Amino acid sequence: MNHLGIKGKVALVTGAAQGIGEAIARAMAQYGAHVAAVDSNAERLDAVVNDILAEGGRAAAFRLDVRDGSSVEEIVERIEKEIGPIEILVHAAGILRTGPIASLSDEDWSSTFEVNCTGVFRLSRSVMNHMMPRMKGSIVTVGSNAAGVPRMQMSAYAASKAAVTMFTKCMGLELARYRIRCNIVSPGSTDTEMQRSLWKDEQGAEAIIAGHTDSYRLGIPLGKLAAASDIAEAVIFLASDLASHITMHDLCVDGGATLGI
């Protein structure tokens, strides 16, 4: 695992208390990173970090709501001073608000963008200002395959993920001269609490895999949902030295659900 170039690096992972973010934090620790695990849910975050420590990994918990701009700066400074220079930044914090556009509230729209897009901007800006003088770093944003394919009753989420995907590519262009790589991993339907919240019953997974003609949604050609670990391994790849000449790339991990478009 040492050839990945992750061992010993400080990896800041947002959304680390659950779902894909938790899987990424655990994977980073398994590959030898010192994980700065960030989330707004302190109780669940502490449980994840304690598990990582019990398994022999290195991790520390930092409670943060990415919507709080001043706290973002404070937490980044703390991580730099208490753990070390941040070399890997992974944006996995995200929220999903669903519903028809005609009845979507202003709060649903603004909260979705504050977490899924503006939070990424604020944290990236803070971390990159530490990375740039060091002339190295890797930033990975967890996007969504919904960024490129319209979804019924998911307008705010899909729009926020489209915005953050392009933001990450622009960031990669600006930071290339500093040898900082910026990439996106775009999951499809993944077996997480967020995904299960969309299901009507226990047959929800089968319905997603089969697709819905009434909502113009294709199924999943590989015939299964992604596991959170599938997404985590894609993030590990893009953050690692194996992807040392890859930047501004959007890696879709959706079992073929968007037909490679």
Helix axes 155-175, 119-134, angle to 10 degrees: 10
**φ/ψ of residue 139, rounded to 5:** -120, 125
Helix axes 69-82, 119-134, angle to 10 degrees: 30
- Residues with a catalytic annotation lie at 157
Beta-bridge partners for 139: 89, 182
Beta strand ranges found along the chain (DSSP E): 10-14, 34-39, 58-63, 86-91, 137-142, 180-187, 250-253
Q: Is there a contact between 151 and 217 (Cβ–Cβ < 8 Å)?
A: yes
> What 3-state class would DSSP assign to 60?
strand
**φ/ψ of residue 197, rounded to 5:** -65, -15
Residue 250 burial (10 A CB sphere; 0-12, 13-18, 19+)? middle
Other CB atoms within 10 Å distance of the CB of residue 177:
9
Q: Work out the angle at residue 42's Cα, subtended by the Cα atoms of residues 37 and 46, and round it to the nearest 5 degrees.
A: 60
